[in-house]
Structure formats: C-alpha cells, structure tokens
C-alpha cells in the first residue's frame, strides 16, 4: 500500500473513534494551537536558560562556594549549545499536554507555563544523547549538537538538560513544597524509565541480544519507557498542578505515555516513507541503514515467509546505504502488512487509554483539545 493510501485509510478510521468533537468539525485547529503554545513555551525556555548565563544564577541554584563562575565559559559550554538545539523547534506537544491538563482541571495554564517546559528540556537532553549513540548527522535538518560543538560538549549538555529543570523547579514560589516534591518524584521516576527504554533500544541496535526474537509486547514496553516516559511526566505534572488525586494523575500519565507510543510508531512510519521527518533525518529509510528494530520490523519478521524474513534481516544487518537495498527492505515490510497493523494498533492504544481519562475529566474545551492532540499525533505527516 502506498503512503498516500495509508494516510487516507487512517483519516477514515479516526473519524470512527468515539469522540464528542473532531479536530475540524468543532473548530479545533490543533496545529495552530501548538504553534501558539510553542511561542509562549519557547519564550519561557529562553528566559530560564538566559538566566543560566550568569554566576549569580548558578549560585542561587546550587549554593555559594566563595568562588566565582567564569561567565563566558558557561555561555560557550552550556547556554549556546542548549539554545542551539532548543531553538530548532519541535512541536512542543509534551508541554501542550501539561497545559491542557492544567486547564481541564480548572486552573489557568498561563500561570504555570514554566512548569510545562520541564519535560521538553529533558526531552531535548535525550535527543542530544540519542544522536551521539546513533552517530546521527542531522537533527531537524541541522547539524546535531555533537557535530557542531563536539562530543564532549554535547554529552555534558545532555546531562545538564536532564537535571536542570527539576533543580530550577525548587526556586519557584508558585507551588507548595508538597507539589514540588511530587513533581520531582515523578521526574526522577520517568527519567529512570526513559533510560531503561533507551538501554533496551541500544541492546537491540548493537546486537547484545538477538533483536529478531523480541515480541511485539517487548517492543511496545521499550517504546512505552523510552518515548512514553516524558509524555507521562508532562501529563502527571499537569495533573499534580491541577490538584488531581493520585489515581487520576496515574491515569493521565498512562494516557500520555500511550500517546508517546503511538507517536513513535508514526515517527517510524514517516522514516520509511517520503516525508518531512525522513528528509530532516537524512533521507527515507535511515532506520534501515541503522538496522533499527521497529514495530514494522518485528511484525514483518513474524509474518513473512522464511526466505523473505532472512532477506530482510540480512539487509538490516548490513547497515546499508544502498538505495536499492533500502527500498527492497521497505517493500518487504510493506508486503507483510506491518503498516496496516501499526495503524490499527495506534488507534486501539489511544482509544483504550482515553476511555480511562474520559471519565475522570469534566467536559471542557481543554479536554476536547487534549483528545484532538492525541488524534493529530497518530495522523501527522510532519
């Protein structure tokens, strides 16, 4: 099936989901909403990181030593590369989840924008590390941080972005100490979850175990951890700030993690089809060159005849850049029915997770936008 036909098929299916409002039929333009939210989030990220370009800020954050930071060094080694990756864009859908949940729970999200950036800054830290581990050249169409600034700067920057947001949280006077503790606890748990997922992905990528014997459940657990963890963090932060009870906070976290799973499936699909995603990452089929195990590979290996399964594995093991072999591998994946299967799985994951959240949130525009966002992320082409 061609990519265009697949997209049309998904559009038809999304319309059948049990939803009170669609993203178009009820005036919800989720793309425009994300653009508007991104402006506010980016302003806040820049504000916080610009403060980090000073001796005074770090002493406020970390305590006084009796000595002095060299501010130009901080600028060159932290601020400049941090703003380089953070200002490259991204859809900022994780912060949007935080803000929509805060609003759905009856509080004004504009009062808490700085807390929505926690998951986004940490996410960009993971991207810096991912690009080093994958030896990637491009991120969002530009040189990766380690290409532009060097592996040493990039590796340290990833660590900084991982820890900075929750340390900065402590200085806020908007939240009670109990809320700060709960958010920090959520952050620590989800960051650990993220590293476990990354460890599994690396193990399969480097053949520390046989990646062609993992099950679909194994793969989905990895993605739930690696990609879903920071979405879960974003949602739980929104729930905590909004005053939700623990059960609701956990349900919101599971819903957002499920969005993360569906998002990753879509990202992997866009990598093997001609799209803005594949072009920004170096071309269609980069995942084939990396020998990456995706849901499509797992499904194809289970369903293809033995000779075609062996051929697909051989191409993946070669880490080939040969265009003909990459297209052959994509053709085998398509033949297996993996694309259709992934679409059905995306929709079921989101639907099941939403049903648990639906009964916990009161009816509101914010709730409608939250669901529209989930549907957008499994139907996006960019």
pLDDT at 26: 55
The backbone torsions φ and ψ at residue 322, rounded to the nearest 5 degrees and listed phi first, read: -70, 120
* Length of the chain (residues): 382
Question: Quick check: 182 and 237 in contact, CB under 8 A?
Answer: no
pLDDT at 14 over 50: no
d(CA 131, CA 154): 9
For the record, the structure tokens of 174 come out as 């908007």
Distance CA 113, CA 306 (A): 53
At residue 200, does pLDDT exceed 90? yes
| Neighbouring C-alpha atoms within 13 Å toward the C-beta of 291 | 20
In the chain, how long is the greatest CA-to-CA distance? 69
Per-residue model confidence as pLDDT tens digits over 97-155: 999 999 999 999 999 999 999 999 999 999 999 999 988 898 988 999 999 999 999 99
CA torsion, points 104, 105, 107, 108, in degrees to nearest 10? -20
Which residues, 6+ apart, have CB-to-CB distance to 31 below 8 Å? 376
What pLDDT is stored for residue 217 in this prediction? 97
**Extents of the domains making up the chain:** 3-377
Picking from 133, 135, 114, 119, the residue whose alpha carbon sits closest to that of residue 49 is 114
Give the Cα separation of 309 and 289 in Å (integer). 17
Residue with tokens 């033949």, as numbered in its chain: 335
Cα–Cα distance, 137 to 131 (Å, whole number) = 8
Tens digit of each residue's pLDDT (9 = 90 or more) over 249-284: 999 999 999 999 998 999 899 999 875 554 555 568
Read off φ and ψ for residue 179, nearest 5 degrees. -65, -40
pLDDT digits (tens, 9 = 90+) for 285-302: 888 998 889 999 999 999
Specify the higher pLDDT residue, 183 or 16: 183
Homologous superfamily assigned to 3-377: Farnesyl Diphosphate Synthase (1.10.600.10)
Q: Mean pLDDT of all residues in the chain?
A: 88
Query: What pLDDT is stored for residue 21 in this prediction?
Result: 36
């Amino acid at each position: 099936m061609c990519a265009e036909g697949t997209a049309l098929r998904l559009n038809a299916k999304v319309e059948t989901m049990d939803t009170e409002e669609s993203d178009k039929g009820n005036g919800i333009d989720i793309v425009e909403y994300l653009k508007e939210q991104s402006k506010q989030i980016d302003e806040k990220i820049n504000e916080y990181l610009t403060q980090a370009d000073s001796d005074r800020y770090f002493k406020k954050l970390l305590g006084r030593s009796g000595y002095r930071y060299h501010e130009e060094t901080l600028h060159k080694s932290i601020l400049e590369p941090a703003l380089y990756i953070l200002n490259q864009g991204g859809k900022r859908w994780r912060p949007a989840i935080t803000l929509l949940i805060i609003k759905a729970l009856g509080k004004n999200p504009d009062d808490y924008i700085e807390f929505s950036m926690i998951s986004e800054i940490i996410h960009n830290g993971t991207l810096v590390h991912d690009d080093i581990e994958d030896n990637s050249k491009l991120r969002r169409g530009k040189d990766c941080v380690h290409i532009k600034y060097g592996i040493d700067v990039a590796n340290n920057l990833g660590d900084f972005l991982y820890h900075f947001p929750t340390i900065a949280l402590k200085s806020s006077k908007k939240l009670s100490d109990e809320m700060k503790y709960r958010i920090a606890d959520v952050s620590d748990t989800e960051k650990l979850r993220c590293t476990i997922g990354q460890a599994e992905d690396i193990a399969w990528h480097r053949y520390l175990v046989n990646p062609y014997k993992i099950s679909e459940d194994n793969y989905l657990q990895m993605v739930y951890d690696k990609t879903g963890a920071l979405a879960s963090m974003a949602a739980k932060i929104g729930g905590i700030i909004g005053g939700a009870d623990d059960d609701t906070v956990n349900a919101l976290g599971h819903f957002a993690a499920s969005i993360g799973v569906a998002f990753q499936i879509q990202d992997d699909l866009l990598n093997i089809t001609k799209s803005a995603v594949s072009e920004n990452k170096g071309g269609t089929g980069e995942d084939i060159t990396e020998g990456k195990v995706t849901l499509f590979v797992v499904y194809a290996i289970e369903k293809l005849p033995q000779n075609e399964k062996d051929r697909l594995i051989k191409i993946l093991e070669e880490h080939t850049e040969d265009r003909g072999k990459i297209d052959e591998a994509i053709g085998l994946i398509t033949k297996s029915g993996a694309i259709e299967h992934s679409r059905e799985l995306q929709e079921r994951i989101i639907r099941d997770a939403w049903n648990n959240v639906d009964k916990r949130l009161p009816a509101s525009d914010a709730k409608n936008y939250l669901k529209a966002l989930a549907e957008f992320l499994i139907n996006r082409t960019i």
